[in-house]
Structure 1
Amino acid sequence: MAVPKRKTSRSNTRSRRANWKTTATVLSACPNCNELRQPHMACPSCGTYAGRHYAAAERTEHQA
């Protein structure tokens, strides 16, 4: 396994890490209730996806 000969400088390390940006989560409107949801996932407010109802996906008031 290769071992570096010199310590990587702080500026080189930080300039390399400058590209580690996150992207904002894409949201789309639910066709059933028009709430915002992530695409390809069941709606957290009404629990529907592709015309089917999934009760496990619904958000309740008592969840932490």
Structure 2
Amino acid sequence: MRQGKRRSHDHAQMPTLAKCPNCGAWHIYHTVCNDCGYYRGKLAIEKVEETV
């Protein structure tokens, strides 16, 4: 009856996504946008174009 229910809440959850107000790309909430490098309206990481 009650067996097998101890870890019913321990499952993988989908991360919360947010839309970047700068470029419109989807990124994980509370993280820097991978496409433009902005976080909360400020430039956090300067993007460098790779040339091969």
TM-score range, shorter chain: 0.5 to 0.7
Is there any run of 5+ residues in structure 2 with no aligned partner, and where?
Answer: none
Large movers: runs of 4+ above 3 Å: none
Q: What is the root-mean-square deviation of aligned Cα atoms in Å?
A: 2.5
Taking only the aligned residue pairs, the percentage that are identical comes to 29
* Structure with greater proportional strand content: 2
Higher relative contact order (CA 8 A, sep 6+): 2
The TM-score normalised by the length of structure 1 is 0.55
Which runs of no fewer than 5 residues in structure 1 stay unpaired? 1-10
TM-score for the superposition, normalised by structure 2: 0.64
- Which structure has greater helix proportion? 1
Count of residues in correspondence between the two structures: 48
